[in-house]
């Protein structure tokens, strides 16, 4: 039998308890699996019940609706950003998939920064936090309309950080990645897919501790598009430079399986992540930890090759941690 691939420190061989008389099957225990980029407003609040995902991060939708989904019991646990903060008329205002209330336009008044009252940026951030957001989302899409100016973006970041909450940006179009990195944005909702980041800018992103949510599959939906190539190249160099990669699919965007997407996993491998790095990206507790009583069980022997790794991992299921006996 060939030796299995190296899964790293997050994976442990276990036996799943069935009953005292009948020993359960053997497999691999992993921490809870998280998709760090989904949209419940598109797939619906119940679409991911009974999948292997223990947590999801909703990165944009109507604030009140997403907040009420997040308050419900059961898995996956929902962390959320609330509305997309954007410039007046900016992305995703007017997009057919963006339900009313998905975009929160920040209208900056003249003299805003000198007033004693909260600024427009502080107010917009405060609204999301009041509903329980654990991350703030900004849309920086120059290809689709106006974007926040650097001062307003900086005010968003300062307000979020004052509350101990990270900021994630949708960056699309020339110069948007640099604008976000310069402003101290903590995460990218997508691996940048419209422009190649030079090594110096990637090094700055890594040094700042930025995380990048992969979403490689939706950059081409499995086709070798220019965007898919740019994203693969950017993510490969970000990972090689020590960058923190988070698994995420933008679930709701296009046709994707409900649950863990093996095509996204295969693209992470193509970008140069080994099995241990893929597992780290899929179990990273960003932006908030998931309940530790639940674990992941992958039945059977770990695969012998990286080619088989995505399908093996996509066969995972949720399990109470107490049902898994370490071998």
Report the distance separating Cα 232 and Cα 235, nearest Å: 5
The answer to whether the peptide bond before residue 92 is cis (omega within 30 degrees of 0) is yes
List the Cα angle 190/191/195 in 5-degree steps. 115
Contact map string, positions 203 to 242, toward Zn ion, x by CB under 5 A? ----------------------------------------
Give the pairing type, strands 244-246 and 211-213: parallel
- The minimum distance between CB 96 and Zn ion, in angstroms, equals 14
When the beta carbons of 250 and 264 are compared against Zn ion, the nearer one is: 250
Burial (0-12, 13-18, 19+ Cβ within 10 Å), 298: buried
Residue closer to Zn ion by CB (options 120, 144) is 144
d(C-alpha 52, C-alpha 316), whole Å: 6
| Part in contact with Zn ion (CB under 5 A); list of ranges 67-75, 152-160, 243-251, 298-306 | 243-251
Shortest separation between residue 195's beta carbon and Zn ion, angstroms: 18
> Which of 263, 186, 252, 184 has its CA nearest to residue 220?
263
Binding residues for Zn ion restricted to 96-125, rule: CB under 5 A: none
- What is the number of the residue whose Cβ is closest to Zn ion? 250
CA distance 59 to 128: 12
**Which of residues 112 and 250 has its CB atom nearest to Zn ion in the complex?**
250
CB of 84 to Zn ion, least distance (A): 9
Q: Is the peptide bond before 76 cis (omega within 30 degrees of 0)?
A: yes
Question: Measured from the CB of residue 250, what is the shortest distance to Zn ion in angstroms?
Answer: 4
Note whether 170 and 155 are within 8 A (CB): no
From 50-58, 124-132, 160-168, 249-257, span contacting Zn ion (CB under 5 A): 249-257
Instruction: Kindly identify the residues of this chain, within the stretch 138-157, that bind Zn ion according to CB under 5 A.
Output: none
- For residue 170, the minimal CB distance to Zn ion (Å) is 7
Q: Minimal CA–CA distance to 59: which of 291, 310, 286?
A: 286
Q: Which one, of 214, 207, 143, 140, lies nearest residue 178 by Cα? A: 140
* Closer to Zn ion by Cβ: residue 43 or 240: 43
Q: Could you tell me which stretch among 44-52, 64-72, 245-253, 259-267 binds Zn ion (CB under 5 A)?
A: 245-253
Q: Which segment (81-89, 145-153, 248-256, 292-300) binds Zn ion by CB under 5 A?
A: 248-256
Distance of closest approach, residue 42 Cβ to Zn ion, in angstroms? 9
Among residues 192, 250, 256, 302, the one that binds Zn ion under rule CB under 5 A:
250
Q: Across the beta sheet with 77-80, what order do the strands follow?
A: 33-38, 53-58, 77-80
Q: For Zn ion, which stretch binds (CB under 5 A), given 5-13, 42-50, 250-258, 307-315? A: 250-258
Residue placing its CB nearer to Zn ion in the complex, 95 or 113: 95
The CB-side HSE value for 43 (13 A sphere, CA atoms) comes to 25
Applying CB under 5 A, the residues found at the interface with Zn ion are 250
């Amino acid at each position: 039998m060939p030796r299995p691939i190296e899964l790293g420190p997050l994976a442990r061989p276990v036996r799943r308890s069935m009953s005292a008389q009948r020993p359960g099957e053997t497999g691999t225990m992993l921490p809870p699996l998280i998709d760090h980029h989904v949209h419940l407003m598109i797939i619906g609040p119940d679409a991911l019940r009974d999948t292997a995902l223990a947590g999801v991060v909703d990165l944009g939708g109507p604030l009140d609706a997403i907040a009420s989904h997040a308050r419900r019991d059961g898995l996956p646990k929902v962390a959320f950003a609330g509305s997309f903060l954007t410039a007046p008329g900016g992305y995703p205002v007017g997009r057919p998939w963006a339900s009313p209330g998905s975009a929160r336009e920040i209208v900056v008044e003249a003299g805003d920064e000198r007033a004693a009252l909260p600024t427009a940026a502080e107010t917009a951030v405060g609204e999301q936090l009041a509903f329980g957001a654990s991350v703030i989302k900004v849309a920086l899409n120059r290809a689709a309309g106006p974007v926040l100016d650097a001062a307003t973006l900086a005010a968003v970041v300062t307000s979020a950080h004052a509350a101990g909450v990270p900021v994630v940006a949708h960056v699309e179009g020339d110069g948007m990645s640099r604008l976000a990195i310069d402003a101290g944005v903590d995460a990218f909702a997508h691996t940048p897919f419209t422009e190649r980041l030079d090594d110096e800018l990637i090094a700055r992103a890594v040094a700042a501790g930025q995380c990048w949510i992969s979403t490689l599959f939706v950059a081409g939906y499995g086709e070798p598009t220019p965007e898919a190539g740019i994203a693969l190249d950017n993510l490969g160099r970000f990972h090689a430079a020590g960058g923190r990669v988070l698994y995420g699919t933008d679930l709701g965007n296009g046709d994707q399986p409900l649950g863990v997407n093996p095509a996204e996993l295969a693209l992470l491998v193509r970008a140069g992540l080994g099995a241990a790095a893929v597992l780290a990206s899929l179990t990273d507790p960003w932006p908030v930890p998931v309940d530790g009583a639940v674990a992941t069980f992958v039945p059977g022997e770990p695969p012998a090759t990286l080619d088989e790794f995505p399908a093996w991992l996509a066969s995972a299921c949720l399990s109470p941690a107490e049902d898994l006996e370490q071998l």
